[in-house]
């Protein structure tokens, strides 16, 4: 039913801003100080791409692995590391900010030549796009935002 041809983009308007999922729960009240420590604490380590935990794409009953990636005004993709198995992987890119983005998947070495650079196209604030790729081989495939890659706005698809 949702048989989208590989790499075909589906326009979707009116994407709900599910920012609530990102809301930080500050109601624990267990610790006197946060993880950054109290006065004189060492401070939180700066997040790096390599230190960030990979998020697994979820295999659906149709055999498609799906993952949602948020693009924000902080010029970061979240998650920035997506892990999947070889096969069809469907990304749902959602712009949760106001800044436009254009995320491209670079699936070099894949069998399907249509995989060269599928992407969202210009994605304005509040918009979402679904992008499917078929990856046949294990590897690391970057998905940069064309507008902000120089600012480090890039994710990585890890096929294992
Ligand atoms: Cu961007």
Tell how far the Cα of 113 is from the centroid of ligand 1, in angstroms.
25
- Tracing tokens 């070889």 back to the chain, one arrives at 86
pLDDT for res 1: 45
CA of 28 to the centre of ligand 1 (A): 33
pLDDT score recorded for residue 123: 97
Helix (H) or strand (E) holding 149: none
pLDDT at residue 66 is higher than 60: yes
CATH number 2.60.40.420 is the correct assignment for the domain at 1-12+52-160: yes
The Cα diameter of the chain in Å comes to 57
In terms of DSSP bridges, do strands 154-159 and 58-59 run parallel, antiparallel, or are they unpaired? unpaired
Tell me 39's DSSP state: T
Q: Is the pLDDT of residue 63 over 70?
A: yes
Q: Is the pLDDT of residue 10 over 50?
A: no
- Rounded Cα–Cα distance for residues 40 and 44 (Å): 12
CA of 62 to the centre of ligand 1 (A): 31
Give the distance, in angstroms, between the CA of residue 85 and the centroid of all CA atoms in the same chain.
Answer: 16
Condensed to tens digits (0 to 9), the pLDDT of residues 44-58 reads 544 444 457 899 999
Alpha carbon of 25 to ligand 1 centroid (Å): 27
Distance 147 CA to ligand 1 centre (A): 5
Mean per-residue pLDDT, 127-148? 93
Q: Where are the domains of the chain?
A: 1-12+52-160
101 C-alpha to center of ligand 1: Å?
4
Instruction: Tell me which residue of 153, 148, 98, 105 sits closest to 127, measured CA to CA.
Output: 98
Q: Any idea what the Cα angle at residue 52 is, between residues 134 and 138, rounded to 5°?
A: 30
Residue 144 has pLDDT above 60, yes or no: yes
- Confidence label for 107 from pLDDT (cuts 50, 70 and 90): confident
pLDDT digits (tens, 9 = 90+) for 21-45: 333 334 444 445 555 555 555 555 4
For the segment 80-101, what is each residue's pLDDT rounded down to a tens digit?
999 999 999 999 999 999 999 9
| 33 alpha carbon – ligand 1 mean position (Å) | 34
């Amino acid at each position: 039913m949702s048989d989208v041809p590989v790499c075909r983009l589906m326009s979707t308007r009116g994407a709900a801003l599910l920012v609530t999922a990102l809301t930080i729960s500050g109601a624990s009240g267990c610790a006197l100080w946060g993880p950054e420590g109290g006065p004189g604490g060492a401070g939180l380590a700066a997040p790096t791409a390599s230190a960030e935990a990979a998020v697994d794409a979820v295999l659906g009953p149709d055999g498609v692995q799906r993952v949602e990636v948020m693009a924000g005004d902080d010029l970061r993709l979240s998650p920035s590391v997506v892990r999947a198995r070889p096969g069809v992987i469907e990304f749902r890119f959602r712009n949760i900010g106001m800044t436009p983005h254009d995320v491209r998947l670079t699936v070099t070495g894949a069998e399907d030549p249509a995989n060269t650079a599928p992407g969202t196209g210009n994605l304005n604030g509040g918009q979402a796009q679904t992008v499917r790729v078929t990856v046949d081989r294990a590897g690391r495939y970057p998905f940069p935002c064309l507008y902000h890659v120089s600012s480090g706005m890039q994710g990585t698809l890890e096929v294992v």
